[in-house]
Amino acid sequence: MTTTNAALKQWVDEVAQLTQPDKIHWCTGSDAENSALISQMLVTGDLIKLNEKTHPNCYLHRSNPTDVARVEHLTFICTENKEDAGPNNNWMNPAEANAKIDALFAGAMKGRTLYVIPYCMGPINSPFARCGVEITDSPYVVINMRIMSNMGEAALKRIERDGVFVKGLHSTGDLDPNKRFIMHFPDQLTIKSIGSGYGGNALLGKKCHALRIASYQARSEGWLAEHMLIMGIQNPAGVTRYIAAAFPSACGKTNLAMLIPPETIPGWKIWTVGDDICWLNVGKDGQLRAINPEAGYFGVAPGTNLKTNPNAFKTIQHDTIFTNVAVTADNQPWWEGLKEGTPVIDWRGNPYDPKNGPAAHPNSRFTVTAKQNPCYSPHAEDADGVPISAILFGGRRRELAPLVYEARDWAHGVLIGAGMASETTAAATGAVGVVRRDSMAMKPFCGYNFGDYWKHWLSFADLSNKLPKIYHVNWFRQDKDNNFMWPGFGDNLRVLSWIFDRCEGAVGAQETPIGNLPYAKDINTAGLDIQPDTLKELLSINQDAWRTEAQQIGAYLDEFGSRTPAQLKEQLQDVQKRLG
Ligand code: GTP
Ligand code: SPV
Ligand code: MN
């Protein structure tokens, strides 16, 4: 197979010259191709077949133990001007970056097959979807990209028709962490990644394309590429409103997007549109409309069980790739929080011994097509996307941030998103549990200077008069004994239903210096075992602590110097005035 697109053909030839593969394979995305790759990976040991009776067509992949998460310190934005990448990114001069990484790519595919993966992020017929081609020497990447994107012939046809595509070059290299780089050249619509076979480092359609490159494009084209889930919330009257929610990695997007309402609150229903990435455009009707550029879920395994996330649990019972989970004696996948079964082999492939840490890696994941989700929205693949009524920002804050509060208006909401903070998680290498600023949950994913990004967000007030309301939520408040104060998971519907009713203008709120909070009486606690004092604490603010927080947000905004929009600083001054 080859292509009528001369630029693509030439690029594949050049890459082959540089990387010296034994073979070149153009991926069609067919079932036969997928089966052949799986058979081959079973032979090489890249995949292990799981229990066919309990988990039909499920496989385990163990990545190299030094390669288990995104590597933010090795991820670069390579623009001509360092200021355009901003203090939120690592920057390297494009010429230097190309020289450095091309030297590592030289001969990197000797003895391997070069796979050409044409893909489309988003519904293939959507005007908002974008195409790319990933070249990789990893069959694991091919079978994952097939689940995560519209991969193969249809995408290639669209590329040949449109003539534009993002180039992503990937090789697992020799997995030496010292020779690992994830580089982005937004002006060239190009990504180069070497030395990792894991998730966001290797599945280039995901974070590299759909967030870093796409956010850069979106800025000049007037749209937004965000680290957000998209979900439909249907109320007992049968009305569905859609929301998008930005939480940092491993902070609850997949779980919220698949939520099953508590039985004690009948009549509500949740529909998943997407669980990780959201592209927002102002539609012809002036509404902000969202598409999910992904076709599958690359979800966190630990913590997933029939109670916490029954939909995810059902989704991953068959035709799923598991990465870095443990296995039971009868070869079923296992992870911490599964609540059933006993691990005998840990994620490294060693006999499980609790002395060596958790059985499954904390960032172990499942890859599965969205179509298997029992609550997959019938509108998930609508070409024009779904209209968004509310945007939620949220993080892991054991202190300070209340359960939910509402922005006074769009600009105030942008400040709330810009100033948000969260505890770091196992989704990236480095310390876990450290509070850091993570604007809009995009700290690791924004392809340009946050100062310019905030300005871009603010500019939407000029593009539409039907913008969504903005909220901040926090499911992760802890008491003195480190217990979560809010039950979370399905019970988060109690917060979503308040937000829904706010959008309908059907419920009041108390004004506070940081925004509008629910009255405790308006949070539906039917069947919920929560002390009134706990709920009261979750729905109040500590003015002293917030004064300190506001000061710290101010210092953070100042790190971006003259790029920080004056309007954002004015918003913060207003909050500070209200705080006294
Ligand atoms: P990425 O895929 O890394 O972007 O993560 P995500 O934002 O989709 O997070 P996910 O839903 O996978 O949740 C990550 C972890 O947080 C899992 O271990 C969940 O069990 C846990 N979690 C999710 N929602 C809640 C919640 O409401 N309360 C509590 N306490 N934990 C939660
Ligand atoms: C995240 O870290 O936010 C993920 C997983 O969704 S990865 O694809 O590795 O980025
Ligand atoms: Mn994510």
Residue bearing tokens 């036969």 = 32
Nearest CA-CA partner of 188 in 7, 17, 20, 27: 7
Tell me yes or no: is domain 297-371 CATH 2.170.8.10: yes
| Residue with tokens 């190009």, as numbered in its chain | 190
- Over its C-alpha atoms, the chain yields an Rg (Å, rounded) of 23
Supply the mean pLDDT for the chain: 97
Any atom of ligand 2 within 6 Å of the Cβ of 375: no
Three-state secondary structure readout of 486-525:
CCCHHHHHHHHHHHHHHHCCCCCCEEECCEEECCHHHCCC
For residue 57 the two structure tokens come to 């067509």
For ligand 2, atom 10: residue with the closest CA: 200
Kindly state the average pLDDT of the residues 272-298.
97
- Among 451, 459, 457, smallest CA distance to 558 is for 451
The tokens describing 76, both together, are 């670069």
pLDDT tens by residue, 292-349 = 999 999 999 999 999 999 999 999 999 999 999 999 999 999 999 999 999 999 999 9
Quote the pLDDT of residue 10. Answer: 97
User: Across residues 376-401, what is the average pLDDT?
Assistant: 97
Chosen CATH of 226-295+378-579 out of 3.40.50.720, 3.40.50.620, 3.60.21.10, 3.90.228.20: 3.90.228.20
Task: Kindly give the distance from the C-alpha atom of residue 452 to the centroid of ligand 2, in angstroms, as a whole number.
Answer: 24
What digits encode the pLDDT tens for the residues 78-103? 999 999 999 999 999 999 999 999 99
Which residues in the chain are classed under CATH 3.90.228.20? 226-295+378-579
Mean pLDDT for the stretch of residues 221-242? 98
Element (H, E) at 297: strand 296-300
Q: One of 251, 278, 375, 503 is an active-site residue; which one? A: 251
Cβ atoms within 10 Å, residue 568: 23
C-alpha span between 485 and 157 (Å, rounded): 52
Q: How does strand 59-61 pair with strand 321-323?
A: parallel
Tally of CB atoms within 10 A around 266 = 9
pLDDT in tens, 110-152: 999 999 999 999 999 999 999 999 999 999 999 999 999 999 9
Q: Which of 191, 207, 211 to mutate to test the pocket of ligand 2 (most atoms within 8 A of CB)?
A: 207
Cβ contacts of 566 within 8 Å, gap of 6 or more: none
Ligand 1 centre to CA of 252 (Å) is: 3
Per-residue pLDDT reduced to its tens digit, 557-569: 999 999 999 999 9
Query: In the predicted model, what is the mean pLDDT of residues 225-243?
Result: 98
Report the DSSP pairing between strands 48-49 and 296-300. unpaired
Which whole number is the average pLDDT over 396-424?
97
Is 251 catalytic? The answer is: yes
Q: Tell me which DSSP letter residue 95 carries.
A: H
Is residue 200 in contact with ligand 2, taking CB distance under 6 Å? yes
> pTM for this structure?
0.98
Please tell me the residue having the least CA distance from ligand 2 atom 3: 249
Q: How does pLDDT run across 250-262, given as a tens digit for each residue?
A: 999 999 999 999 9
Ligand 1: which residue has its CA nearest to atom 2? 299
Note whether 458 and 567 are within 8 A (CB): yes
What percent of the chain lies above the pLDDT cut of 90? Answer: 99
Q: Please state the rounded mean pLDDT for residues 491-500.
A: 98
Mutation choice for ligand 2 from 68, 249, 366, 432, CB with most ligand atoms inside 8 A: 249
- Give the side-chain half-sphere CA count within 13 A for 139: 21
Ligand nearest the Cα of residue 275 is 1
Give the class (CATH, top level) of 6-46+69-221.
alpha beta
Per-residue confidence (pLDDT) for residue 2, from 0 to 100? 84
Instruction: Enter the tokens of residue 465.
Output: 């008069």
Give strand ranges (E) for 18-103.
23-26, 48-49, 59-61, 75-77, 90-91
What's the gap in Å between 558 CA and the centre of ligand 3? 27
CB 420 within 8 A of CB 437: yes
Alpha carbon of 577 to ligand 3 centroid (Å): 35
DSSP conformation letters of 301-365? -TT--TTT-HHHHHHTTSS-EEES-EEETTS-EE-TT--SS-EEE-TTSSBP-GGGS-SS-TT-E
All CATH 2.170.8.10 domain ranges in the chain, comma separated = 297-371
Whether pLDDT at 1 is above 80: no
pLDDT tens-digit readout, 363-385: 999 999 999 999 999 999 999 99
Predicted confidence band of residue 204 (pLDDT cuts 50, 70, 90): very high
For residue 510, is pLDDT > 80?
Answer: yes
Q: Of all protein residues, whose CA lies closest to atom 20 belonging to ligand 1?
A: 303
pLDDT digits (tens, 9 = 90+) for 175-198: 999 999 999 999 999 999 999 999
- The CA-atom distances, in angstroms, between 157 and each of 29, 116, 121, 493 are 13, 14, 14, 42
State which of 255, 338, 404, 475 you would mutate to test the pocket of ligand 1, scoring each by most atoms of that ligand within 8 A of its C-beta. 255
Which amino acid residue places its CA nearest to atom 14 of ligand 1? Answer: 250
CATH 3.40.449.10 domain extents, the chain:
6-46+69-221
The kind and range of the H/E element at 289 are strand 288-291
Regarding the beta carbon of 475 and ligand 1, being less than 6 Å apart is answered yes
